[in-house]
Amino acid sequence: MPPVRVVVVQWGANVTYATKRATRAEIEELFNNRPLVRANLRGRAATHLAIGVTDAGRKLAVAFIYYAETRAAFPITAWEQS
């Protein structure tokens, strides 16, 4: 599998659910701070998981759909990592 490189975070109708436990700014910061990205389990809504930190140091995980053609991430949900 080629490496995942997110250059844009794409928001849509799912923004309300995706930002229940983290703000839009925090999710975008995570992607700007070079998170660890891996493929998600088969059969899940999200194709990938990103694990990293915000500018304030908050550890987050974000489940997202990755579009390789545009290098875009479409966040599905996010949660705080312990």
Q: Summarize pLDDT for 37-64 with one digit per residue, the tens.
A: 999 999 999 999 999 999 999 999 999 9
CB atoms within 10 A of CB 58: 15
Contact status, residue 46 vs residue 65, Cβ threshold 8 Å: yes
SS3 call for 81:
coil
* pLDDT at position 68: 93
pTM reported for the whole predicted model: 0.92
SS3 call for 79:
strand
- Would you state the structure tokens that stand for residue 14, as one six-digit string? 């799912």
**Side-chain-facing half-sphere of 11: CA atoms under 13 Å:** 10
Question: What is the rounded distance in angstroms from the CA atom of residue 58 to the CA atom of residue 22?
Answer: 10
> Closest Cα partner for 62 from 81, 47, 75?
75
